[in-house]
Amino acid sequence: MNTITLKPAKEKSLARRHPWVYSNAIEHVEGKPAPGATVLIRAHDGRFMARASYSPVSQIRARVWSFDESEPIDHAFFKRRVQRAIAHRQTMVRDTGATRLIFGEADGLPGLIVDYYIADDESQRGQLVCQFMATGVEHWKEAIVKALIGATGCPNVYERSDVSIRQKEGLEQITGVLAGDPPPATLIAKEGGVRYHIDVERGHKTGFYVDQRDNRSLVREYAGDRDVLNCFCYTGGFSLAALKGGAKRVVSIDSSGDALALAQQNVTANGFDPQRAEWLDADAFKTLRRLHEEGERFDLIVLDPPKFAPSREHVDRAARAYKDINLTGFKLLRPGGLLFTYSCSGAIDADLFQKIVAGAAADAKVDARILKRLGAGVDHPLLTAFPEGEYLKGLLLQIA
């Protein structure tokens, strides 16, 4: 069996059940494991620590499959892990046609993301969408797809592994049909009483921001009779939720004309009054400043930008960008107004994000109160031993 032996004292994180082993923790590798091959990990004194997948080029040299020495890594292993993950969602997730079935390390399948879309229209069919972001799940792709189809009964599986992190694993970016038929041009899934058009093949991530479900529900709850501004709106997730909640007016900004076109289709599909929705194909930073200069004011603002800090090297620049949009956001709020603000940058932790937002409030000369800390839903669980899994951070604030 291919074996990794760790340097002295480098087994401590594994003893706490952290699922990653970095290259600088390894003393030597016995054998010549191929990318994705299963390896035994042993402490310097020879103690068994874990079974893991091997990645010869990544700084994360091994990702743990199991801390149980007696558990083999085979087709049955992946069938069990997939079934366990889906059972959690069946118990915990309600009122949605879009669910994250597999969330990587939290489900014992490091590097794997799987979203499941159940079509609202009976003429369409369900769709599984997968991202394989590490050599281990890439190696076991066939077994994983088989397990997913068996556990869900959905025959249609599409791959969206067009993510830059694969390059760090020595893998090419790839998309395409893994099983069944190609996805429709737009699939319609229902969430919280709202029908959303989802572009599985060309949309962001797997086609939809499944992680924001609970936060869309919260916006829907507070949007009644308010003027709402949604920045970086993509296909209008928060905008549609606000319209469903009875917002008087929703102004939405995004720099993608295609995304805005799909957002407007969503308005029509739900029977909302298009006069209540304004769509701006523009740069959000510049538009926020322009709206402030023109004296516009809103009762509820959503700031859900793309990832400003893809790595730690980008933290300082990202912090300035987050402060910029939040500063103008505070200035655009009427007294008593609500700000929903988010960061999906893994390199920006929750404490730093709160400090950035607090600095923006101070510079805007407003008194801001945190009403609620926000994050992803229960289908995005977090391992206590793996804080790196908490990529989405958010705050609901109110100004005096």
Residues recognised as catalytic: 344
SS3 string, the chain, reads: CCEEEECCCCCHHHHCCCCEEEHHHEEEEECCCCCCCEEEEECCCCCEEEEEEECCCCCEEEEEEECCCCCCCCHHHHHHHHHHHHHHHHHHCCCECEEEEEEHHHHCCCCEEEEEECECCCCCCCEEEEEECCHHHHHCHHHHHHHHHHHHCCCCEEEEECCCHHHHCCCCCEEEEEECCCCCCCEEEEECCEEEEECCCCCCCCCCCHHHHHHHHHHHHHCCCCEEEEECCCCCHHHHHHHHCCCCEEEEEECCHHHHHHHHHHHHHCCCCHHHEEEEECCHHHHHHHHHHCCCCEEEEEECCCCCCCCHHHHHHHHHHHHHHHHHHHHHEEEEEEEEEEECCCCCCHHHHHHHHHHHHHHHCCCEEEEEEECCCCCCCCCCCCHHHCCCEEEEEEEC
85: how many CB neighbours lie within 10 A of its CB?
Answer: 25
